[in-house]
Amino acid sequence: MGLYVDCALIEEVSRLCVTFPIAGVTTNPSILLEAVERGQRLRDEDVLRGLIQACGGPIFAQPVADSTDGLRAEGERYLALDPVRIVLKLPMTAAGLAAGRALIGSGARVAFTAVASLAQTYVASATGADWVIPYFSRLRHAGVDACERVGAMARLLARQDSGARLLVASVKSSADVVEAATIGARDITARPEIIRGLLDDALTTEAVTRFDADWRRMAETLGG
């Protein structure tokens, strides 16, 4: 399983990678906008360069254009930064699929994002995508049984044996992360606060507090 951080704030990603086993970074236009609004005044290419330095592993970048040619051109612009580390996230649309096929044919790693159905999962797998990205909470909010759907996607990819991995996004809690992992997601991406929250448990806090107290009592007893 790979745990990815869904964030474009370079300093925050860097801090998180010191503590957690972060496999890479996922971004999209909304995440880039959030980083700008929080004071990181960097263009997309500069953000990606910073993330490449801040964290090992794949850095997912999402081209935006209204045509196949436009998506391919934007994808190539990102790939020029680092063709090994950059993974292109493309929408599961006709234009995204066509651009993805061309980019995969030229050696790029591609993830199809906003995948919502088993049919789309099958097409992405057959195209040679490296990752298929469903939105866990968005499925749930749409009235879909997210666990059943994502689990079925994982089983389909396993049976196709195409090498495509399921990267579950839009998880909103530690419980979502555990659910996604339990039903077969090999990779999960989450916001920094959710990743930090994976360590929170009252029983752990209670145990550590007791250990600290006993250590101090031992030191005081021996010191006396």
Residues in the chain with pLDDT < 50?
A: none
Q: How many angstroms from the chain centroid is the CA of residue 174?
A: 14
Under 8 Å between Cβ of 34 and 63: no
Query: Residue 11 corresponds to which amino acid?
Result: E
pLDDT of residue 224: 57
Separation CA 34–CA 206 (nearest Å): 36
* Residue tagged active-site, from 89, 109, 149, 165: 89
Tell me the whole-structure pTM to 2 decimals. 0.93
Is 172 one of the catalytic residues?
Answer: no
Q: Is the dihedral of CA 104, 6, 79, 92 positive or negative?
A: positive
Map tokens 């998506």 to a residue.
71
Kindly calculate the radius of gyration of the chain based on its CA atoms and give it in whole angstroms. Answer: 20
Instruction: At 84, list the tokens.
Output: 């090994």
User: What are the φ and ψ backbone dihedral angles of 185, each rounded to 5 degrees?
Assistant: -70, 120
Domain topology for 2-223:
TIM Barrel (3.20.20)
Under 8 Å between Cβ of 77 and 42: no
pLDDT of residue 1: 76
pLDDT of residue 111: 98
State the DSSP code for 36: H
Q: How many angstroms from the chain centroid is the CA of residue 213?
A: 39
pLDDT of residue 162: 83
User: Phi-psi category of 170—alpha, beta or left, where left has phi over 0 and alpha has psi -120 to 50?
Assistant: left
Distance in angstroms between the alpha carbons of the first and the last residue of the chain: 50
